[in-house]
Amino acid sequence: MSFFKKIFGSKNKQEIEQRTRNEDNLEPFKKVPWMTDLRLKNISICLDAGFRPASSLPTEFERQIRPTIEIAQRLNAIKALTLWLMIPEENLETDKILNFIDKNELKNFMNEEEKEILNTSRDDEQARNSIGWKFENAWSLAWYFGYKEPEISGKMMSGEQMQDILQAFSCPLDEDVKNWIKDKQTLSESELLEKEDLFYCLHNAVRSAQLGRETVPNGFDPMGNGGVIHERRHSLTWMLSKGINWEETDLST
């Protein structure tokens, strides 16, 4: 056998052994009386990635997708806050951002802390440091409008990804959000439900790890990477929580 075959053969053997272990780990979940096919699929994804959620998690929730306009308004509220802090006044007039917010009623989709950002200097360093977490919310929201699926690695978004969402997957400042969504192809409720359930399981594994349990992959930081999972899950659950304010979204696990 050649050197390369030995390497690849060994890799394939490791992959088979890993899949076998994951199948064995999946067995306790199959015995849960309320288990669903969707949950088993998502648990399998978690195990393959090194996450170990609890087998006792409920599988049935009251979920109802919110209107598309509200999802767009939340996404563009984050956009407005990002532009406020990250683009200098000489490159983007303050009035242009404020007019965009007012005409699209975006303050209705900001919490009190976010509204307060609009009362701070546009070069406030402390506020800038927090905006990255807002953009982890934005990834799931932008996915609804055609951006790529939110990753489960816990790695924060890159500047290039943020720029892509700002330019290609959110409403231009001189347009009306209601008009912007008219020609957008959006996700189905079932697609959202499936992804939200996956991040619900991931979030449970993260919270267990934050309590000291070994439920996340090697090298995964329960606080830093776990915060990314938390923020992406927040948007997914909020999109399926019709009538619930952002800050009141049920993020229990």
Please give the chain's pLDDT, 253 residues, in tens. 444 444 445 556 655 555 666 666 888 888 889 989 999 999 999 999 999 999 999 999 989 999 999 999 999 999 999 999 999 999 999 999 999 999 999 999 999 999 999 999 998 888 888 888 889 999 999 999 999 999 999 999 999 999 999 999 999 999 999 999 999 999 999 999 999 999 999 999 999 999 999 999 999 999 999 999 999 999 999 999 999 999 999 999 9
Alpha carbon of 228 to those of 16, 77, 90, 144, 237: distances in Å?
30, 19, 32, 18, 14
According to the model, what pLDDT value does residue 146 have?
A: 96
**Amino acid at site 66:** R
Block residue for tokens 């307060």: 116
**What span, in angstroms and rounded, lies between the C-alpha atoms of 21 and 26?**
9
Return d(Cα 106, Cα 72) in angstroms, integer. Answer: 10
Round to whole Å and give the CA distance between 109 and 98: 14
- Rounded Cα–Cα distance for residues 251 and 70 (Å): 19
User: How many C-beta atoms lie closer than 10 Å to residue 231's C-beta?
Assistant: 21
Distance CA 253, CA 250 (A): 9
- Per-residue pLDDT, 112: 94
Residue-level pLDDT at 131: 85
Cα angle value 161/163/166 (rounded, 5°): 115
**pLDDT given for residue 1 in this prediction:** 47
* Closest among 31, 9, 45 to 153, alpha carbons compared: 45
